[in-house]
Amino acid sequence: MTLSRSLTGITLLLCSAGAAQADAVAPQRAPSLAQQAAAMPADFRSHFFNAPISARVMLDGKLLGDASIVLSEDERVQIVNFTDVSSSEWTETERQRWLTAFSQPLALGQCNSSCPANLVAADYNLANAQLTLITSALPESAGQQLWHALPEQSSAGMLLSNQLNLSGGQQQSAAMGWLGGLEAAIGNWSAIGQYQLDRSGAKDAETQHAVTSLYLMRESQHTFYRGGLFSPDSQGVLRQPYSRGSGVTTLAGVMMGSSDTLMKDGNTPALYPIWVTANREGIAEIYRNGVLINSQPVQPGLQALDTAPLPGGIYEVEVRILEDGQETSRNVETVNKPAGWRNPEQRLRYNLFAGQQTALMSNKRNQQHGEMAAGTSLNYLIKPNMTGGVAVQKVGKEKQAGVSLDWQASQQVQLYSNLWHSSVTGYGFDSQAMWMHEKGNVALNHSRSWYTPEDALGRLSYSSRPRTEQSTSLSSSYRLNSNHGVNARLTHRSSNNGVGIDAGYNTRVAIGSTPVNLQLSAFDRPYRDNGNTRNRGMALTASFSLGSQGRSASASIGSRTDAQGGRDLYASATLNQEWENSFMKQSSVTATADRYGAGLSSYNQFDAPLANGSFWGQRSSADRQLNGGLNVGSTLALGQGKAVISRDAQQHQGGGMIVDVVSDDESVDLMAYHEAGTTPLKAGRNFIPVKAWKPGTVQIDFPGKDAPALKAWPQYLDYHHVRGGVSSHEVRVMKTVTVMGRLVDNQGTPLGGAKVINHAGRTVTESDGMFTLELHEKNPVVSIEHHSGMQCEIRLNPETEKRDELIFAGNVTCSATTLVRNKATITKELS
């Protein structure tokens, strides 16, 4: 009889000579399971073997979970299911792997042949009811614990995303941006591509198109590699120093740098808000490299743009404010959405690139087309709270350099500065400071540049005098208490006439039983760039909830200066509605009245099965013209011979799962729970976006607290993809009924420890033969296997035997070849 070995002995065996030299080590032997059970009373021993008992399962010294197991007298063990995993450090993927490995009884002791899941030995200790599993996996070093391994199996798949942004009106030239993205997995490499078609809102603007990226990329534990057509970005560095002027556009070449993509535990707004000021209801169009990437309506006054939908990274955007179809301001802002410095032991982060500037399928050629380009960016963690950055690049004859310093001076103070120089365009600097205190924050931004202007054809005019451009802003918010707060903002740009001032007071009061937020604001700011007119006024805004159905409203009254310098009194009211169980997620309607008449606007967000996004429309009170916009996206996923169209064009996580739900109930609602959130599933084909690189598990369950009489199988789906990888899965949803009975032999003796199996569920009989099983109504066949060798099948008839979703089977008699159902009433059998 094979003897089980103690945990200490096995550990010494592995450390000294490995599993292959077990016989040479002669570890200490622990008492066998039979020896441990010999001291038991006979009555207790009959309940201990061949019946489900509770045990704590340890895997390589760490808790895998509390489980129900079955032990046999020939020293074999089977794991029936896990009952509590709340304190486990292992993933659900690992747990399901061992549940599958022990679905059939395995021998305790050292495993010498046909060892599942790298199992070396298994041991059960009666004293603490613990099942210990030891594998051949060596303990991870501190370095290995930081990183995820690449998928064991080669990845394949493709994600094609489409994002369309439209903005236009009756007196406004239409602006359009269409971005088509490609992410494909080829083994452990990823293919990345992007095509864009765009047209700005300027009159007589030309529609432009180009393939802006098409390259292969591979990730390792410390470094990424890239080759093909791409635009050098800030990947690999946390703070990317930047400079003014024409940087590298599209490069055919290679790039490599630091990467923490595979680090363990690894749609947020920008670190610093982007503030805009509108004098009337208008539109904010956000351009990156001249391409429209988002548009959103803006209300009169100072406000922060919604930066959550914008791509991650540190890059410049151009924000254009349009009012009544006319552009009133155009400013360059920085989107700051970096990843954290996740590995303090890696003090130096870098990227470097080299190649030739070129364009593919493009109708636009810049002055540097065909020029060679090369550069590098470095970040160094000077101290845990201080990061320095250096960037150097050469584009044709132009040389550019930049340095930056990011300093967390204290828990409350954050400082950032950046200096740059270009041998062609000039030099400049920008700086940011933020002080966060218990009652609010203070933020200061200042930038200044000395640059060579451009002529009417967009060429640098060296004959003209260098120009100076500067921008400064100071903003602060202060909470007097939980119901009262004040805020203020000062701005000055060299293109504006004087300083802009915005100040506001917020309070929360109760009118009857309804809480109301009140805001009183005052402002004095330039009306338009390069204009002498100033906009002065005040406004009072009240916002409040309307019931508990996701409905709210706000109303404003105020005074402002119009374009001719006259006084303009206005009033507006807004109604907001959040929708449930609808493709519409949120809607708002705003009505405005001023000296010109009445205006109307609406903003809506939707989430349809095949696409999501937003659309909006405005009718100005001044010119009675209509304006509107649309932001919509979708994703086409292909993997393992299957395809599906889904929403979330910009918000997929780099990988995906195609899930076919085959259900007895076509109206079934399922929910997939995963690290990125939740995804609703319907009968038919579905798509679940999941994170690339990191292995994980998706749990399939029914929404709400009251689950229907249905069984989803499998309940867990594992995934591990490189970027662009798509896997295919099938989930069966079966209508079930609960069967209760007792298994006995021909002499009426209860058969404990027998497996009772239906493809909707499985269980093991108790020592007294009792069992409870979930049964598939459309396939009501139950297989019974007993360790004595008896096997049999039973076919039930749920249509006639079911009572209140239960079937009381009574005594079920099983022999080696036949099955006999005892027709006695369940009341007698179970009493």
Q: pLDDT tens, 91-136?
A: 777 888 898 888 888 888 888 877 887 888 888 887 788 899 988 8
Q: State the pLDDT at residue 28.
A: 44
pLDDT-derived band of residue 1, with 50, 70 and 90 as boundaries? very low
Q: State the pLDDT at residue 459.
A: 62
> What's phi and psi for 144, nearest 5 deg?
-65, -30
Q: State the pLDDT at residue 408.
A: 83
Instruction: Identify any residues that bridge with 161 across adjacent strands, giving them in sequence order.
Output: 181, 635
Q: Which residues contact 67 (CB under 8 A, 6 or more apart)?
A: 54, 55, 56, 57, 79, 80, 81, 82, 83, 131
Mean pLDDT of 238-245: 68
Mean pLDDT of 376-391: 89
pLDDT digits (tens, 9 = 90+) for 480-521: 988 899 999 999 888 776 788 999 999 999 888 888 999 999
Give the C-alpha separation, 283 to 630, whole Å: 12
Which amino acid is residue 132, in one-letter code? T
Q: State the pLDDT at residue 205.
A: 77
Closest CA to 47 of 741, 752, 740: 752
pLDDT digits (tens, 9 = 90+) for 622-656: 778 888 999 999 999 999 999 999 876 555 678 99
Q: State the pLDDT at residue 189.
A: 93
DSSP structure class, residue 137: P
% the chain with pLDDT above 70: 86
Give the C-alpha separation, 654 to 642, whole Å: 18
More reliable by pLDDT, 57 or 396: 57
pLDDT digits (tens, 9 = 90+) for 244-303: 655 567 899 999 999 888 877 645 677 778 888 887 888 899 998 778 888 888 888 778
Closest CA to 91 of 814, 816, 675: 675
Tokens of 655: 């990988």
pLDDT digits (tens, 9 = 90+) for 608-631: 878 888 999 998 887 788 889 999
Q: Are residues 521 and 496 in contact, defined by beta-carbon separation less than 8 angstroms? A: no
Residue 12 has pLDDT above 50, yes or no: no
pLDDT-derived band of residue 41, with 50, 70 and 90 as boundaries? low
Q: Are residues 237 and 258 in contact, defined by beta-carbon separation less than 8 angstroms? A: yes
Peptide bond between residue 680 and the one before it cis (omega within 30 degrees of 0): no
pLDDT digits (tens, 9 = 90+) for 20-32: 333 333 334 456 6
Q: Are residues 384 and 365 in contact, defined by beta-carbon separation less than 8 angstroms? A: no
Mean pLDDT of 191-203: 86
